[in-house]
Amino acid sequence: MEEAEAEEQQRFSHRQRLKAAVHYTVGCLCQEVALDKQVQFSKQTIAAISEVTFRQCENFAKDLEMFARHSGDCFCPLRRHAKRSTVTTEDVKLLARRSNSLLKYITEKNEEIAQLNLERKAKKKRKPEDENRDFMELDADVVGSDS
């Protein structure tokens, strides 16, 4: 009982800290916009925005988890996918599909990151392959021993 209460309190304080962080960030963003557009933001506005953002983030988290679990959750005999326990960019894209601009932005970012990854892989390959091979073998051994 006490543990549960302590945990509860800890969670609550954690939550408050998160909310505070969101509030601060929203305040900063609003300041930038105010400077840009020459409009004023009242405190209530910022508080409202931060509260809404926080709740929406909660929704997003739940949705992302649902999407991850949903992916591969099919009865089709193909069984191509397995239920994932990791949230991927696909899930995020599914989440953002409503707003076109956001979806486009995310897709672009995703492609950028993918490109970066490819480039890194290419760089790694271009590096002295011997070193890489040695490293890879070492890594493989390590991985093999771990698993």
Partner 1 sequence: MAGRYSPDPDQTPRTLLRRVLDTADSRTPRRRQSVRNNAQRSLLQIPSSSKRQSSQTKIVARRHSYITRSVVRLARVQTHGHLEEQTPRTLLKNILLTAPESSIVMPDSVVKPVQVPEMVESSKWESSPGSLELQLPELEYPSTLAPGLPATGRSKQRLRLSVFEQEVNQRLPLSQEPPGNADASSLTSSFNLSFVPPCQSQSVGRPGLARRRPIRRPVDVGVLLQDLEDNSLTTALPGDNYRTPVATLPTDAVLEDTQPFSQPSVGCSLRVYHSLPSPSHSEVKGAERVVGRRTQSTGTGLEKHMSRTSLGTTPLPFSKLQPQPPEIREAVGSQEAVEAKEQEGSSRDEDTPGRPASPELAADTYNLLQAEQPHQSLQPPPPPGVAVSEPLESVPARLPSRTQTVGPRHHQDPYKAGLSHYMKLFSFYTKMPVEKKALEMVEKCLDKYFQHLCNDLEAFSAHAGRKTVKLEDMELLLRRQGLVTDQVSLHVLVERYLPLEYRQLLIPCAFSGNSVFPAQ
Q: How far apart are CA 23 and CA 57, in angstroms?
A: 13
What are the phi and psi torsion angles at 141 (to 5°)? -60, -45
Q: Is 70 in the site for partner 1 (CB under 8 A)?
A: yes
Pairwise CA distance, residues 126 & 101, whole Å: 37
Among 76, 86, 128, 146, binds partner 1 (CB under 8 A): 76
Q: Least distance in Å: CB of 140 to partner 1?
A: 30
DSSP per position, 99-141: SHHHHHHHHHHHHHHHHHHHHHHHHHHHS-HHHHHHHHHHHHH
Q: How far is the CB of 76 from partner 1 (least distance, A)?
A: 5
Alpha-carbon gap, residue 15 to 2, rounded angstroms: 19
Smallest CA-to-CA distance from 96 within 85, 88, 107, 111 is with 107
30 part of the interface to partner 1, by CB under 8 A: no
In angstroms, what is the minimal distance from the CB of 73 to partner 1? 5
**Tokens 């009865």 belong to residue:** 75
Candidates 75, 85, 123, 144; binder of partner 1 (CB under 8 A) is 75
> Applying CB under 8 A, does 94 fall inside the site for partner 1?
yes
- Member of 90, 137, 139, 141 binding partner 1 (CB under 8 A): 90
Q: Which structure tokens are listed for 72?
A: 């591969």
Span from 22-30, 31-39, 44-52, 77-85 in contact with partner 1 (CB under 8 A): 77-85
Smallest distance, Å, CB 101 to partner 1?
17
Instruction: Decide: is 65 part of the binding site for partner 1 (CB under 8 A).
Output: no
Give the residues lining the site for partner 1 (CB under 8 A).
63, 66-67, 70-77, 80-81, 90-91, 94, 97
